[in-house]
Amino acid sequence: MDDKFNILQEVYDVIEDRKRNPKDSSYTNYLFEKGLDKILKKIGEEASEVIIGAKNEKKDEIQYEIADLIYHLMVLMVQQGLTWDDITAELRKRR
């Protein structure tokens, strides 16, 4: 990954570590413990919040909500055994 996208891998690695080494107060572990339905519910909520932020044309709100959506998508990726290599390979097919 390009240097500017290293943060995506860094956050992914933290999420993956939380799955392997749970921490009591970790929100990420809470999501894993609650399972797929909870993760998917959060993705739906965050996607809706991105839409609302965009409709309100508030850049800071959109930025915050997109980051939340990406985080929750990464939780799903880890839960489903997908990596950034899998996602970037799929995106490359679409060029």
Sign of CA dihedral 17, 5, 77, 34: positive
Q: Considering the entire predicted model, what is its pTM? A: 0.93
Residue 47, domain extent: 6-88
Q: Is 42 domain-assigned? A: yes
DSSP assignment of the chain, as one string? --GGGHHHHHHHHHHHHHHHS--TT-HHHHHHHH-HHHHHHHHHHHHHHHHHHHHTT-HHHHHHHHHHHHHHHHHHHHHHT--HHHHHHHHHHT-
* Tens-level pLDDT at each residue, the chain (95 residues): 568 889 999 999 999 999 999 999 999 999 999 999 999 999 999 999 999 999 999 999 999 999 999 999 999 999 999 999 999 999 999 99
Q: Is 95 domain-assigned? A: no
Q: Is 17 domain-assigned? A: yes
Q: Is 11 domain-assigned? A: yes
The total number of structural domains that make up the chain: 1
Query: How far is the C-alpha of 24 from the C-alpha of 75, rounded, in Å?
Result: 17
For residue 55, give the CATH number of its domain.
1.10.287.1080
Q: Is 1 domain-assigned? A: no
